Amino acid sequence: MSLRSFYLALAALTLVSFVPLAHVSAQENNAESAEQADKMSEEEIQKTKKDILNDKILEIGKGLGQKEMAHFYVIYSSYAVINMVEDVKVDVANAVQACSENNPDMESKIKKRYEEWEKALSESMDKARDNVQNMEVAQNYIPRSELKELNGLVKATRNETAIKFEKVPVSTPEACEFMLTKMDDTQTTMVTLLDKTISNFPELLKKTQE
């Protein structure tokens, strides 16, 4: 894996997302954006959160060897996947609430499926968090305070994208049936992503050495 490929993969992970189970309207949240801009320096105003995150990744990666690079990639990808799953969980919880309130005849089925879905994701999330914490402790190439800052930038980058849109859950019977179907897909996909973020380290290390 070349350095270029490595950094492209990192950048792509930040933008990983799933189609939310809601109607998304492209409405700019100008008030919140303006408030954030007031708190930023002139130089920072010229950069998006994604730019700042990418600069941070490049800064960390400059002095890393191949093994350290692979280790860092797994830590970073874990941050990206965990934050993405947290966002999806919020969207699904909002959709479940709207569907239950507007379709009383479906409420029992929806809540039963949601409880199963949420339990499966929470178990994988807990395991992923424990694993990435162990990887943070096991390394000595970067202070943990910088890793904490990096994780904060991952969250901020996703939030910057999210506040540009107003998400309004759709709660027609058809939309709610579709939501139930998508919960099957997202459970499988996200549990797999969470479980593989750490277990793929040996394979990734091998690729960096090819």
Sketch the domain layout of the chain as residue ranges: 3-208
User: What type of residue sits at position 123?
Assistant: E
Q: Is 60 exposed, middle or buried (0-12, 13-18, 19+ CB in 10 A)?
A: buried
- In tens, the pLDDT along 37-96 reads 455 554 554 467 788 888 888 888 888 888 888 888 888 888 988 988 898 898 899 999
Are β-strands 23-25 and 166-168 bridged in parallel, bridged antiparallel, or unpaired?
Answer: antiparallel
CA dist., res. 96 & res. 110, Å (int): 7
**Owner of token pair 């992923």:** 128
Closest CA to 6 of 78, 74, 81: 74
What is residue 114's predicted lDDT score, i.e. its pLDDT? 95
> Smallest Cα–Cα separation from 84: which of 3, 180, 191, 176?
191
Confidence grade of residue 17 (pLDDT, cut at 50, 70, 90): very low
Report which residue type is found at 149.
E
Q: Calculate helix-pair angle for 3-14, 144-162, nearest 10 degrees.
A: 50
Q: What is the 8-class DSSP label of residue 181?
A: H
Query: pLDDT at position 97, please?
Result: 92
